Amino acid sequence: MQTNFTDAQMADPKIQRANEILRSCVHCGFCTATCPTYQILGDELDSPRGRIYLIKDMLENNRVPDEKTVKHVDRCLSCLACMTTCPSGVHYMHLVDQAREYIEENYKRPLFDRVMRAVLAQILPYEKRFRLAMRGAQLSKPLAPMMPAKIRNMVEFAPAKLPPPSLNDKPQVFAAKGKRIKRVALMTGCAQKALDTDINDATIRLLCRLGCEVVVAKGAGCCGALTHHMGKTKQSHATAAKNIKAWMAEVNGDGLDAIVINTSGCGTTVKDYGHMFGNTDLAQDAQVIAALAKDISEVLIDLKLPVNDPKDIRVAYHSACSLQHGQQIKTHPKTLLKNAGFTVLEPSDPHLCCGSAGTYNLMQPEISKQLKDRKVTTLEATQPEIIAAGNIGCMMQIGSGTGIPVVHTVELLDWATGGPKPQKLV
């Protein structure tokens, strides 16, 4: 793609990166075949290629974003299926993230949207605030039918029951069982600590059983993904910087072999810290942390997984977009489940997004519901006893549309290697 940025514009490292990405696009349109919003809406501007044209025009002309551009950029899920499909290696993720930041800084949204986005940014990344908000939503559910669509969707999102806080999520060190093979830090996250404490508990048990010393670092928290994808760069970088400093303290102390992440949406962001902090004082440390970041399946695949009690159970595996496209991890979770004795089933179109995508299901509820219904249909068609996934957002989204238990992959692996049966299956 030809670009026409001025020399003055090209002095900005962000524009340099945008120019590099735009010039790598050859307009082939392969991306439209796997883009969920294009498949649902059938609008070229709701495809990666269409959005690239809109973003190019906006950045090149340094103009105030118009309503049309904002609408179509907002509709992007950041599922990154286009990056897997693209034969030219267009790094769409960095381009759309830059567009969101530019829109956030230069576009005045309607009052309701501004308030909603501000509220989400100040609640979701903070466990205690999120818990309080979920309790308020639970109390408000009888009034949901009378609420505006977006507010109603937020209220209905709240689970019927919240688990109590887990003591395992507090800063501490868990000793390895037997000889220590690795020393790893576990990213406990933010919303996950309120919605499903079983995931971190199972991860800690499993890693310790396999010879890992597990550190929950003091000062670490939200990865910054939720606000990063809303274009709120200052806020996302502030929370990400806390993680970098907290984990570097462990690296410089007793050392770390990996930073284990069991929420794939977070993993994609942490692995991109090197880019996010590329022109800052934290650049070097950010690169170190990004290199250490591993999805839980990457760590487990390198460890010997002793199966004490093989489970002859049919498990439909949902491959989260952030894992298969964002991190290009496609086979590890399925291999681990098969090795643990589970019968692994895969839907007919495994690349399809479930429609969760961070805050997408709250801000684009109509499109999100269509994607959820399609994903649930394909998963249920495999006739599973259990659905497994590696991302809390996907688990909540899919779980809201099916009666089949939805569990994290690590919960099943913990169970098969001597841990307790997941509470969702009891």
Summarize pLDDT for 355-390 with one digit per residue, the tens.
999 999 989 999 999 999 999 999 999 999 999 999
pLDDT, the chain, mean: 94
Is 80 exceeded by the pLDDT of residue 227?
yes
Is 90 exceeded by the pLDDT of residue 302?
yes
Tens of pLDDT, residues 290-300: 999 999 999 99
Tens of pLDDT, residues 319-338: 999 999 999 999 999 999 99
Domains and CATH numbers, the chain: 7-106 (1.10.1060.10), 111-157 (no CATH), 167-300 (3.40.50), 307-425 (3.40.50.1860)
What integer pLDDT is reported at residue 217 of this predicted model? 98
What integer pLDDT is reported at residue 158 of this predicted model? 81
Distance CA 114, CA 111 (A): 5
What integer pLDDT is reported at residue 23 of this predicted model? 96
Where does 92-154 show beta strands of DSSP type E? none
What integer pLDDT is reported at residue 312 of this predicted model? 85
Q: How far is CA 112 from CA 80, 88, 108, 116, 158, in A?
A: 28, 39, 11, 6, 21
Across the chain, which distance is largest between two alpha carbons, in Å? 64
pLDDT tier at 352, thresholds 50, 70, 90: confident
What integer pLDDT is reported at residue 176 of this predicted model? 97
What integer pLDDT is reported at residue 186 of this predicted model? 98
387 φ/ψ angles, rounded to the nearest 5 degrees: -110, 130
CB 404 within 8 A of CB 192: no
Distance CA 208, CA 166 (A): 17
Tens of pLDDT, residues 249-259: 999 999 999 99
Tens of pLDDT, residues 81-134: 999 999 999 999 999 999 999 999 999 999 999 999 999 999 999 999 999 998
What integer pLDDT is reported at residue 175 of this predicted model? 98
